[in-house]
Structure 1
Amino acid sequence: MSFRNFQVPYTIDDRYTKRVAYFSMEYAVQQPLKIYSGGLGFLAGSHMRSAYELRQNLIGIGILWKYGYYDQARNQDQTLQVTWMEKLYSFLEDTGIKFQILIHDAPVWVKAYYLNPATFNTAPMFLLSTDLPENDYVSQTICHRLYDANVATKVAQFILLGVGGAKLVDELGFKPDVYHLNEAHGLSAAFYLLNKFKNIETLRKHLVFTTHTPEEAGNEKHDLYLCHKMSYFCGLSIDEVRKITGIYDDQFNHSLVALRFARIANGVSKLHGEVSRAMWSKYDNICPIISITNAQNWRFWADKQLYRAMEEGNDVVFDDRKKYLKKRAFDIVADQTGKLLDPDVLTIVWARRFAGYKRADFLVQDKERFERMMSNNIHPVQIVWAGKPYPLDYAAISTFNSLVQLSKNYKNVAVLIGYELALSKRLKQGADIWLNNPRVPREASGTSGMTAAMNGAVNFSTDDGWIPEFIDQGHNGFVVPKADYQNMHVLEQDKYDLDTMYDMLEKEIIPMYYESKDTWRQIMKNGMRDVRFQFDSNRMASEYYELMYKS
């Protein structure tokens, strides 16, 4: 097929005719395509699936990461080993489109690959690569590792996604009405478009921005002079950049400039919208920030047999299905760790990206209560941890390794590697409790609990991200009641959360699982019902058209 004058290859729904180019650094659409690290990718992947289901006029722009994020392996003593393996994808189509962009004032060749909607049931996606023989070795490495630790390489990746993506859209002849930046990684597209549109007001009409970061320090900043030297600003002088961005110090804040260039922006939960508006309110010329709560694709994630049993009111089949799902997940645990977990035992799962504020090892910090819980023979408990630390986040890797060492002392504790889409789905199916304990209010959304609920896992969480919009205490999940966190030292906050979590586990949650099976089952079902429509990404993808893409 020809990729010139590209049209989305299916009939567009009349509600979604506006042409949208969606830029994201990572996408998690299917296990074989390893171009994601965590929640941002899971969110973007579900968005692409829903855009396809709803027949929206949208294309995804990303990068074809040669080595992915990294492959999580083990050292001889079971601790974490970071490995890099070349990925080969026979299902991607070569578009035949090659063009040059400037990076560091030198031309770099870019090639575009196509993910056909029929392959994984997604919107059409185009993935960019610089790993070409026409480029020198340094230029080839731009697309090697997602979130490369080298600052110059990372800026080059931002240019590849933004400038390269915007130029690809022109090469395709797609002519978007809207350029949607999912996080600020692709902001360099705005400078390319400034050259094209000639003025900032025209740019603003076409640009929208989604922010996922609930604290200012977490937003990407780079040296302004480095960005200029690397051709990030598409030919603008430093003075011109300062004038149009309002950045007068030497740190180029990508999110801040995105908020100044976009027509409208959104946070990814109601709480995150509030946090974002407060966080950026001290800056001038910020666009309006609304909320569109993240969601996940029900058709991809949910266990349909569990839902069918629920809808038919057949509790025997419902219980039997959940037990089967647990057994199947425990086969993976056994294969990786040699631990034989029991499907009749309450199973707590903590699984997501390892980052400090997510507090992976939180339960372990009260050694006495942890030991008491894990050695209780009347109300036994099993715990599974999984997740990927950033490969150079040595504190997070240390936490992972400490949990591995701890697990060696317990038959009922396991730590898994390879936490990607397939394992994520299995662990959510195998969980009775999906544990989520970020330090409030640092989790923008935290969507893993949505897909857990779609598989009959009960959420137990601190009150952050999407959770305030979902959990009805004791009805469809359990939540740690908010304290006056703003007036607490971080150690006080941690102590309050930990003590409250153990109180709830010991006095309410664990006894209920064993002594009130009917109540527990009803909580599972309530969670499955409540998550299905409100937190299905079809709702989210529709809201983007209704609230963000309309002019």
Structure 2
Amino acid sequence: MSMTTRKIEAEGSLATSATVAYFSMEIAIDPAMPTYSGGLGVLAGDTLRAAADLSVPMVAVTLLHRHGYLSQSIDNDGWQHESPVEWVPADFCAEQSERVQVVIEGRTVHVRAWQYDVHDGGGHVIPVLLLDTDLDENSAEDRTLTHRLYGGDDRHRLCQEVVLGIGGIRMLRALAYRRVVQYHMNEGHAALLGLELLDERAKSFERDVFTSDDVQAVRRQCVFTTHTPVPAGHDRFDLNPVGRVLGRTDLFDMHEVFCCSGELNMTYLALNLSHYVNGVAKKHGEVSRQMLTPKDAEHHYQIDHITNGVHARTWAARSFANLFDQWLPGWREDSASLRGAVAVPENEVWQAHQAAKLDLIDEINSRQAIAYDPETLTIGFARRATAYKRANLLVSDPGRLRQIAEEHGPLQLVFAGKAHPRDEEGKRLIQQIVRMKDTLTPEIKIVYLENYDWELARLLVAGVDVWLNTPQPPLEASGTSGMKAAINGVPSLSILDGWWIEGCVDGVTGWSFGDASPAKPGDVKRFHEDAAALFGKLDEVVAPTYYRNRDAWVRIMSHAIALNGSHFNTQRMVQQYVLKAYYKS
């Protein structure tokens, strides 16, 4: 048992006197519950699973999302269509009898909670409270506030964030979580919890307004993790609608906490009310410090970094879990023991991979007419469909791609990912890839799998031979899909951005390509330069190694597990939060 684990268990014995409240707009807690959209929610779920493994006393707060994020279908022309995802909360969660109220635009909005318990497989439980406004007491409009994740306009989003932040604190009190010592905001969506904590403290001293002393006291209780390296990705609201929604303007007078150039910026609110702030990779910490501190600012935010991870037990394919059980007993309890993967017989690593690959190919072949082959080099790309992730980089030069296939062997490309309903450019990217299907065959097979979700991701990250990542630097905050692939011995082929700057040992854990320096949005010249570098790496290294040097390939697979899988996991990540943020002396 490591020293860090012993510390966590010691703190865990304090139970309610040392509880951490983890707030996130989305959390992937069960594959059948559509309470997440992608990486942010999956990370939140993996965090809770690791915290349960480590017996960290924690409670989580999120929204119910009765209609999910979106169910994706792609028509014959390659265009994405969306529909709600229907599910029955009572099939998974226990409704709590307590109710709380928040005031929105002068109306009283009633909020209830549903509880889902995250278990460690033993006795430790982390309750997740899913807030829900779909109650008869509420107006028809207010009943829909918690229906859909990231739905509606800015006003609707702000109302959701009132429910999450202010309603979340009130629900914790109603359910007797009165000894929370740290409030962890996973992104800025929950930043209004700080306003509620300030009001609470002022009232406890029989004051109507809060003071600078209250701000300092609240700051000691809050932790903030930022995930967004793009200024446009941070929630910002004009002060006039903020005043109408909250029904108050008194807070605007405290400019050092609430106001930023005539708007309420939820990221700055979280920054100003947190004693510990972190980015989600070393590079992202640097980018955040530059982006979030104005050039003429007297105050510079202290932004640390804790690189993201994934929950190894959740993301290891069945074949690899069985392999680890045989050769690395205890890996479920101690993810760091995966470093022993270099001692696992290489033929058994390959057999485990082929089993996972067959599971993926069976799924692909059940969905489309072109049969995929387990002996063909298969490249996977799955993430949110948006411009900066550049999903089309791999298919930008069909002639070069076909030449690589003719020289070394056939290729199979597997794409997946949803575009936000209002992201027309993201939808066009999907369409462009789908339309390449007839252009690339027969040397290159291509498929775009609909409705990328938790279960499909588990098949993809374990079943492809190479995990491709093509972001425009420095816009990849961290990226966790490549970490999931590494758990299953799948090497990454990626631009040096996000976590891959830390995880890449070129030719050992995978490969890098292209220019890692910052690029301007829409830089066509840079796009083509990175594409040429990608094709060069495929042509000169990746494809020939796969087809002609199987021993070298499997060694890379083993090192991906041993070096990356053993480190880029949520057990290590949560231990760092415990020591740096939650229980820092």
Same fold at TM > 0.5: yes
Matched, 1:320 2:332: no
1:151-170 aligned within 5 A: 151-170=154-173
Closer, same or farther: CA 269–366 of 1 in aligned 2, 3 Å: same
Tell me, in whole angstroms, the C-alpha distance in 1 between the residues paired with 2:309 and 2:351: 28
Q: Which runs of 5+ in 1 are unaligned?
A: 1-10
* Structure 2 residue 573 is matched with structure 1 residue 508: no
What amino acid does structure 1 have at the position aligned with 2:549? S
Task: Please give the root-mean-square deviation of Cα atoms over the aligned residues, in Å.
Answer: 2.2
CA distance in 2, matches of 1:119, 1:543: 19
The verdict on how the C-alpha distance between 1:85 and 1:278 changes in structure 2, with shifts beyond 3 A counting, is closer
Alignment of 1:355-434 (within 5 A): 355-374=386-405, 376=406, 378-409=408-439, 410=441, 412-434=445-467
Residue 128 of structure 2 corresponds to residue 115 of structure 1: no
TM-superposed CA distance for 1:298, in Å, is: 0.7
Indicate if the aligned counterparts of 1:91 and 1:119 stay in contact, CA closer than 8 A.
Answer: no
Looking at structure 2, the residues matched to 177 and 499 of structure 1 have their Cα atoms a distance apart, in angstroms, of 52
Q: What CA distance in whole angstroms lies between the structure 2 residues aligned with 1:353 and 1:248?
A: 30
Q: What is the number of residues matched between the two proteins?
A: 537
Confirm or deny that 1:304 pairs with 2:317. Answer: no
Matched residue type, 1:14: A
Write the deviation string for residues 63-82 of structure 1: whole angstroms up to 9, x where unpaired. 10011101112336564221
Structure 2 counterpart of 1:397, which letter?
Answer: K
Q: Residues of 2 paired with 1:399 and 1:486: CA distance?
A: 19
Contact kept, 8 Å, 1:306 with 1:456, in 2: the verdict is no
Residue in structure 2 matching 1:226, options 241, 244, 252? 241
State the identity %.
Answer: 31
Deviating more after overlay: 302-311 vs 210-219:
302-311
Specify which of 201, 205, 215 is matched with residue 197 of structure 1.
201
Instruction: Determine the structure 1 residue equivalent to 2:373.
Output: 342
How far is 1:532 from its partner? 2.6
Cα distance 1:79–1:206, how it changes in 2: closer, same or farther (>3 A)? same
Matched, 1:138 2:141: yes
What is the CA–CA distance in structure 2 between the aligned matches of 1:201 and 1:313, rounded to whole Å? 52
SS in structure 2 at match of 1:159: helix
In structure 2, what is the Cα distance between the partners aligned to 1:84 and 1:54?
A: 36
Residue of structure 1 in register with 2:307 after alignment: 293
Please say if 1:176 is aligned against 2:180: yes
CA contact (8 A) 2:78 2:432 kept: no
Q: What's the secondary structure of 2:391's corresponding residue?
A: coil
Distance in 2 between the 1:389 and 1:197 partners? 42
Whether the 8 Å CA contact 2:408–2:544 is kept in 1: the answer is: no
Which region of structure 1 is more displaced relative to structure 2, 341-350 or 478-487? 478-487
CA distance in 2, matches of 1:38, 1:176: 28
Q: Secondary structure at the match of 2:451?
A: coil
Once the two structures are TM-superposed, the CA of residue 446 in structure 1 deviates from its matched residue by: 0.7
State the one-letter code of the partner of 2:437: S
Offset at residue 182 of structure 1 (A) = 0.3
CA-CA distance at 1:166 after TM superposition: 0.9
Q: Which amino acid aligns with 1:435?
A: L
- Distance in 2 between the 1:445 and 1:238 partners? 34
Alignment pair present for 1:185 and 2:189: yes
Amino acid at match of 2:435: Q
Does residue 438 in structure 1 map to residue 433 in structure 2?
A: no
Shift of 1:248: 4.9
Superposed CA offset, 1:119-150 (max 9, x none): 98862211000011111110011011100132
Deviations 1:309-329 (A, max 9, x none): 656633333222211211110
Residue 535 of structure 1: CA displacement? 0.8
8 Å contact from structure 1 (residues 60, 125) kept in 2: yes
Does the 8 A contact of 2:38 with 2:384 survive in 1?
A: yes
Q: Is 1:92–2:55 an aligned residue pair?
A: no
SS at match of 2:180: coil
Query: What is the CA distance between 1:103 and its match in structure 2?
Result: 1.1
**Matches of 1:15 and 1:99, distance apart in 2:** 30
Q: Structure 2 regions of 5+ residues with no counterpart?
A: 1-6, 203-213, 328-340
Aligned to 2:285: 273
- In 1, Cα distance between equivalents of 2:522 and 2:416: 29
- The answer on 1:257 being equivalent to 2:269 is yes
Aligned counterparts of 2:125 and 2:413: Cα–Cα separation in 1: 34
Conserved? CA contact 1:306–1:455, under 8 Å? no
> How big is the shift at 1:355?
1.4
Q: Which residue of 1 aligns with 2:129?
A: 126
The equivalent residue for 2:332 is none
Given the alignment of the two structures, is residue 457 of structure 1 paired with residue 490 of structure 2, yes or no?
Answer: yes
**1:524 equivalent in structure 2:** 557
Moved more, 304-313 or 167-176: 304-313
* Alignment CA distance shift 1:486-1:385 (3 Å): closer
1:243 and 2:255 are equivalent in the alignment: yes
- 481 and 398 in structure 1: CA distance in 2 versus 1, 3 angstrom threshold: closer
